[in-house]
Amino acid sequence: MTTTSSVPPSKGKLWFAAIKPPMYSVAIIPITVGTATAFGQNAIFDPKILGIFLTSAILIIAWLNISNDVFDADTGIDKNKAHSLVNLTGNKALMLWLANGFLSLGVLGILLIAWLQQDITVLSIILLCCVLGYTYQGPPFRLGYQGLGELICFFTFGPMAIAAAYYSQTQEFSWSILAPGTLIGISTSIILFCSHFHQVEDDLAAGKRSPIVRLGTQLGSQVLMVTTILFFALIVLFSLLGIFSIWTFLTFLSIPLAYQLVSHVNQNHAQPDRVSNCKFIAVRLHFFSGLLLALGLIIPSI
């Protein structure tokens, strides 16, 4: 009798996993929270700029996802990854052209914002984010292979993305944007951190020193718990410091997802087949906590 676990995934499921629709929340949430911060502090909102920025951010994330599959194909780390776009298509060159096409369109959108506002500040920040994004997997840097991916992720999707979104609405900066930037940086880095638990063997074989390879899965699960607690503790701290209003406590409605993530990884950290879905729980935590944070930032100005 054939068991469920022995049935190979369908092509449709493999393509869904390769395209990674849930991962595009990492484009949506920073821009949404940065825009919400601008509205909450200044009662300023330009829907046209938000629409262009969100579209560009999604295109840039498409570039990151596809190009990472291309660069990973070069190192052989994805040889057992059935849902790699390179493995699915068998055409690495085409995937690289497609990735660069998405990047060009994304940057074109940011150029449009710069032209509309006659200000290159947002463009400069996003170009720097793209450069840092390239160094994550792109040769000759491949900083993700040295365990620095989470640090890059924190800054690019946290303080830098929030600052760019805030500036796109207000044409000015504020020190207070570091608070939401830190929170979104942490929740985004948690997604990347969780993606390593199930692939320790492949990472070791390819020489990738991910944080989980360095720490081990058990210590890694404890680091995840502390980091998740820190995320919510910082909301309390920023509220006590007067940076956030009490409305940002709405973010605590996402605690059940945080508990699910931490407990799931704690119980299954050493079982690749069972822990492999933890990154999707992390994506849900990132998405809903980010939306709730944005709502909490907006309400005081409504």
* pLDDT (0 to 100) of residue 2: 36
Q: Which residues contact 237 (CB under 8 A, 6 or more apart)?
A: none
Q: Let me know if residue 232 belongs to a domain.
A: yes
* pLDDT (0 to 100) of residue 6: 45
pLDDT tens for residues 223-280? 999 999 999 999 999 999 999 999 999 999 999 999 999 999 999 999 999 999 999 9
C-alpha distances in Å from residue 143, one per residue of 76, 98, 133, 211: 16, 23, 10, 12
Q: Let me know if residue 79 belongs to a domain.
A: yes
Q: Let me know if residue 16 belongs to a domain.
A: no
* pLDDT (0 to 100) of residue 1: 33
pLDDT at 218 over 60: yes
Best-predicted range by mean pLDDT among 86-90, 200-204, 287-291?
A: 287-291
Residue given tokens 């570039």 in the structure block: 63
Radius of gyration over every alpha carbon of the chain, rounded to an integer in angstroms: 19
Q: Let me know if residue 7 belongs to a domain.
A: no
pLDDT tens for residues 145-175? 999 999 999 999 999 999 999 999 999 999 9
d(CA 164, CA 172): 10
pLDDT at 198 over 50: yes
Q: Let me know if residue 47 belongs to a domain.
A: yes
What's the mean pLDDT in 203-231? 94
pLDDT tens for residues 29-62? 999 999 999 999 999 999 999 999 999 999 999 9
Are 130 and 157 within 8 A, CB to CB? no
What's the mean pLDDT in 186-205? 92
3-state secondary structure string, the chain? CCCHHHCCCCHHHHHHHHHCHHHHHHHHHHHHHHHHHHHHHHCCCCHHHHHHHHHHHHHHHHHHHHHHHHHHHHHCCCCCCCCCHHHHHCCHHHHHHHHHHHHHHHHHHHHHHHHHHCCCHHHHHHHHHHHHHHHHHCCCCCHHHHCCHHHHHHHHHHHHHHHHHHHHHHCCCCHHHHHHHHHHHHHHHHHHHHCCHHHHHHHHHHCCCCHHHHHCHHHHHHHHHHHHHHHHHHHHHHHHCCCCCHHHHHHHHHHHHHHHHHHHHHHHCCCHHHHCCHHHHHHHHHHHHHHHHHHHHHHHHC
* pLDDT (0 to 100) of residue 75: 78
What's the mean pLDDT in 187-207? 91
pLDDT tens for residues 74-129? 777 766 666 667 777 777 888 899 999 999 999 999 999 999 999 999 999 999 99
Predicted confidence band at 17 (pLDDT cuts at 50, 70, 90)?
Answer: low
CATH of the domain at 151: 1.10.600
Per the structure, the count of domains in the chain is 1
Q: Let me know if residue 15 belongs to a domain.
A: no
Are 185 and 158 within 8 A, CB to CB? yes
pLDDT at 9 over 70: no
The contacts found for 119-128 with CB under 8 angstroms, 24 or more apart, are: 119/171, 121/167, 121/171, 122/53, 122/164, 122/167, 122/168, 125/160, 125/163, 125/164, 125/167, 126/56, 126/60, 126/164, 128/160
Q: Let me know if residue 133 belongs to a domain.
A: yes
Q: Let me know if residue 3 belongs to a domain.
A: no
What's the mean pLDDT in 65-78? 81
Q: For residue 239, what are the domain limits?
A: 22-298
